[in-house]
Amino acid sequence: MPVPKDEFDSLYPCDFYTPAELLDEDKLYTVYEIARLLQDLDPDEDIGQDVENVLLDWAIPWVMFHSDDLVVAEPRDDDEPGFYGVDT
């Protein structure tokens, strides 16, 4: 259900990094690592499954929106996620 804006103390611009600003052009990242980076966290930081699920809600649309600026690498193993990087 929609919530009135005045119920919040502060509102912020919805400004996200571009792939070139967020990712090292010589590396590939999982969507989980991208989720952490979008929150200015270390890509290897242990954040717990509940927090990770929330961050993925931000990261997956970001990857889709910036798909023209990204490359994708297939997982190396069946239990590994895919990897994304800057299209250079």
Q: How confident is the model at residue 16 (pLDDT cuts 50, 70, 90)?
A: confident
- Strand, helix or coil at 84? strand
In the chain, where are the structural domains located?
A: 24-86
Alpha-carbon gap, residue 25 to 11, rounded angstroms:
32
Residue 72 has pLDDT above 90, yes or no: yes
State residue 86 phi and psi, 5-degree precision: -70, 135
What pLDDT score does 2 carry? 93
Q: For the beta carbon of residue 23, count every other beta carbon within 10 angstroms.
A: 22
Residue 87 pLDDT exceeds 90: yes
Helix orientation angle between 49-65 and 31-38, rounded to the nearest 10 degrees: 90
pLDDT tens digits for 28-65? 999 999 999 999 999 999 999 999 999 999 899 999 99
Mean pLDDT of 9-18: 88
Q: How many CB atoms lie within 10 A of CB 69?
A: 14
